[in-house]
Amino acid sequence: MKTIAVIGLGRFGFYVAKSLSRLDVKVIAVDNDEKKVQEISEFIDDAYIIDSINKQALEEVGIYNLDTVIVSIGENIEASILTVMALKDLNNKTIIAKAINSTHGEILSKIGAYKVVYPEKIAGRMLVKKLVDTITVEEIDISNSIKMIKLFANEKFINKKIFQIENEFKNLKIVSYKSSGNWFINIDSSYEIKKDDLLVFICEVKYVKDFLLSVK
């Protein structure tokens, strides 16, 4: 599962962290304000009170070697800059940082921020949409016992026919698929899955975890 860290839980950071918590990602949220951490902990399990300029503290909560870290520190420009520097030292790859003005943004870019955003909620929506583009699985609750799973075809499915997939995963049923921009609900069991097809399965909740582990 993809892990994304959000540092700073002001309006922008809180919105992004909460939005990401609804997706199939692990979210680490941190702030030096206990109240803000308590508020986000209603939505996120991994929420911590730390000083983000402290490399040891970042490492202890798992913010190292990550693909994506979002720095959403408010008016404290010095803390924002030092945090980005610490994140770079900890080998975090894509650092997306909030800036409060163009000068702040230029500094963040020069010290290693991959992308600089100028808040607040609208920027949060755009950022989440961009992050979602890399997320290939979505789970939808139909009831307490039934789930729908949407996923993009990977090497586990490409060039296989639908009946072959259903024979391999007997506890799941393909109820629709999207190919070349078109949705199909009248399933042709002899259809051969292509790259970038979107598949929709339905199954009992108890089979979801094993299925997702087997197709990663």
| Domains of the chain: total | 2
pLDDT category at 144 given cuts 50, 70, 90 is confident
> In which band, very low, low, confident or very high, does the pLDDT at 121 lie, cut at 50, 70 and 90?
very low
Q: What is the pLDDT of residue 131?
A: 56
Note whether 84 and 128 are same-domain residues: yes
For the chain, what percent of residues have pLDDT higher than 70?
92
28 & 115 share domain: yes
Q: For residue range 167-210, list pLDDT tens digits in order.
A: 999 999 998 998 988 888 888 999 999 988 889 999 998 998 88
Torsion of CA 196, 197, 202, 206, to 10 degrees: -30
User: 156 and 116 in one domain?
Assistant: no
Quote the domain boundaries for residue 170. Answer: 137-215
DSSP string, 29-76: EEES-HHHHHHHTTT-SEEEE--TT-HHHHHHTT-SS-SEEEE---S-
Task: Return the pLDDT at 39.
Answer: 94
Confidence of residue 128 (pLDDT cuts 50, 70, 90): low
Work out the average pLDDT over 46-50: 96
Residue 71: pLDDT band with limits 50, 70, 90: very high
Average pLDDT over residues 35-42: 94
Per residue in 80-103, pLDDT (tens digit) is: 999 999 999 999 999 999 988 888
- Same domain? For 37 and 60 the reply is yes
Give the alpha-carbon dihedral of 40, 45, 49, 52, to 10 degrees: -100
Last residue of a domain, one of 113, 132, 151: 132
Q: Verify that 151 and 126 share a domain, yes or no.
A: no
The model's pTM: 0.59
Boundary of a domain, candidates 87, 115, 132: 132
